Structure 1
């Protein structure tokens, strides 16, 4: 019977204490050498700076002055930018607050009269080819026309009670109307507010959602193009019947 071959187990030799001390000493020597080199370089730089200071001081001074001027310019630019952003937020808040006005006359209108009001506001803002198409076969649109920049638009008008809310399904109908009419822009105008999901749906799908507050702005003279910049803001609370 043949004997089985024996296998040798490889063992890892641990470094001896003397070897560890040797490596530690070598590391200390390298660290000491680096410190000496850095010290020597610093001393040489200081010596050269002292020797040639009379020649280089204008350049050093100019560099420091330019750095200080750059830092001051950046600080002024940043301060101005923050101030402008704060002013834009304040103006937006003022516009939204102005839109919270009583719309008693609008609330008393019929659906057709409300559509005519929206068409007239479009014409006032420079829109062209504006016409009311509301009715039983309006294909989801009440007003169509062109914005001042030439883009076509389709508008859905809903004169609801101020305490109501527009649901997302009505905005989906408007998307269908935009496709049917081949319009570039879809606008939903209402005398009430949008629910949270419907407002998010409008913003995500590029629909200009003109709720009660923004309708007050529009009726007070704010152009439709400005309302587009406020889209998705300023709805306030559901108690619009007190305004």
Structure 2
């Protein structure tokens, strides 16, 4: 839906709310005034005014929730398209794609070092914050999760061998609960398919800006 159409729909929505939330009670009020003593008219007016305000406020909040839900759905769709691209890559291409994201977002000294004897590091870089980033890439299918053994192997080398300030595991899939628990304890940042989609589409943070391990 285009922004112009969305604005037009919203304006029409508020017009209808005004009619039903204020106009209708006002019409009823005019009929009741004929049968209410003069001393009760101010109270009746106040009651109907409060009711109209309540209806309009409820409708406005509902519209805001609808717009936010639509925005989130659009973001999810963009992220899903990004992740779908990575699923078409082989592991080597995926490593280079992650290196590209690092370069795009301001990292320097970006190197793809994955391969035989890499000891868990696939991409290394210096983040814009000055921290050394060490990334392990897992180009898995959507039904294969990254497990605790994978996380433990990476955890055994990312600090001691690669001197990582920020170790990161990135996958096109998800992580098991055990892997998440281990990573949280070791300070390893996890990027599952949703976080990766956010990073790639720039609707979410890069790994060096992430402060928590996402739940799986």
TM-score range, shorter chain: 0.5 to 0.7
1:58-77 pair list within 5 angstroms: none
**Partner in structure 1 of residue 135 of structure 2:** 155
Say which of 161, 174, 185 aligns to 1:193: 174
Matched, 1:101 2:80: yes
**Residues 107-165 of structure 1, C-alpha deviation per residue, up to 9 Å, x if partnerless?**
01011100001001011111111100000121111001111111112110010111111
**Partner in structure 2 of residue 231 of structure 1:** 213
Structure 2-normalised TM-score? 0.60
* Structure 1 segments unaligned to the other structure (5+ residues): 1-89, 236-243
* Structure 2 segments unaligned to the other structure (5+ residues): 1-67
Cα 1:184–1:226 change in 2 (3 A) is closer
Displacement of 1:174: 1.2
Q: Contact 1:158 / 1:191 at 8 angstroms: preserved in 2?
A: yes
Number of residue pairs matched by the alignment: 144
**Partner in structure 2 of residue 207 of structure 1:** 188
Matched, 1:180 2:161: yes
Displacement of 1:94: 4.3
Q: Distance in 2 between matches of 1:164 and 1:154?
A: 23
1:18-97 pair list within 5 angstroms: 94=72
Q: Distance in 2 between matches of 1:143 and 1:205?
A: 19
Say which of 93, 100, 111 aligns to 1:113: 93
Partner secondary structure for residue 121 of structure 1: helix
Q: Distance in 1 between matches of 2:141 and 2:209?
A: 22
Q: Distance in 1 between matches of 2:192 and 2:117?
A: 25
Matched, 1:141 2:83: no
Structure 1-normalised TM-score? 0.54
Cα RMSD (Å) of the superposition? Answer: 2.5
Poorly superposed stretches of 4+, deviation over 6 Å: none
Partner secondary structure for residue 141 of structure 1: coil
Partner secondary structure for residue 167 of structure 2: strand
